Amino acid sequence: MPPDNDTLAATDASLPPIHRQPGFLSFLLSRLAAVFAMQIQAIVVAWQVYDITRDAMSLAYVGLAQFLPMVILLLPAGDVVDRFPRKRILQLSWAVQGICSALLLLLAQANHGSVTEFYAVLALFGCARAFTGPTLQSLLPNIVPRAQLAQAIALNSSIMKVAVISGPLLGGVLYSVGGGSLAYAVCLGCFIVALALLVLVPVRYVEKAKVLESTAWKRFSAGIRYIRYQPIILGAISLDLFAVLLGGVVALLPIYAQEVLHVGPEGLGALRSAIAVGALLMGLYLGVRGIKRRAGHVMFIAVAVFGLANLVFAFSTLFWVSMIAMLVAGAADMISVYVRTTVIQLATPDEMRGRVNAVNMLFIGSSNELGEFRAGSMAAGFGVVPAAVIGGVGTLAVVGLWMRLFPTLRRVDRFDDAR
**Tens of pLDDT, residues 288-345:** 777 778 888 889 999 999 999 999 999 998 989 999 999 999 899 888 888 888 888 8
CATH number of the domain within which 364 lies: 1.20.1250.20
Domain final residue pick, 145, 171, 203: 203
382, 403, 235: which is closest to 314 by C-alpha? 382
Segment 75-115, tens digit of pLDDT: 888 888 888 888 999 999 999 999 999 999 999 888 767 78
Do 187 and 110 share a structural domain?
A: yes
Position 279 scores a pLDDT of 85
**Are 347 and 379 within one domain?**
yes
Q: Which of 203, 236, 267 is the C-terminal boundary of a domain?
A: 203
**Domain boundaries, position 151:** 21-203
- pTM score, whole prediction: 0.74
Question: What's the domain count of the chain?
Answer: 2
Residue 360 has pLDDT above 90, yes or no: no
| Burial class, 97, CB count within 10 angstroms (exposed 0-12 / middle 13-18 / buried 19+) | buried
Q: What is the pLDDT of residue 5?
A: 45
DSSP state string for 189-225: HHHHHHHHHHTT------PPP-PPPSSHHHHHHHHHH
pLDDT classification of 118: cutoffs 50, 70, 90: very high
Together in a domain, 195 and 223: no
Mean pLDDT computed over 375-398: 84
Q: Is 287 exposed, middle or buried (0-12, 13-18, 19+ CB in 10 A)?
A: buried
Q: Return the pLDDT at 347.
A: 79
Residue of 131, 148, 162, 37 whose CA lies nearest to 361? 131
Task: Let me know if residue 16 belongs to a domain.
Answer: no
Strand, coil or helix: 55: coil
Residues 138 and 240 grouped into a single domain: no
Of the candidates 279, 387, 398, 298, the residue with the CA atom closest to the CA atom of residue 342: 298
Contacts 24+ apart (CB under 8 A), 22-29: 22/202, 22/204, 23/143, 23/200, 23/201, 23/202, 23/204, 24/143, 24/144, 24/152, 26/197, 26/198, 26/200, 26/201, 27/139, 27/140, 27/143, 27/197, 27/198, 27/201, 28/155, 28/156, 28/159, 29/197
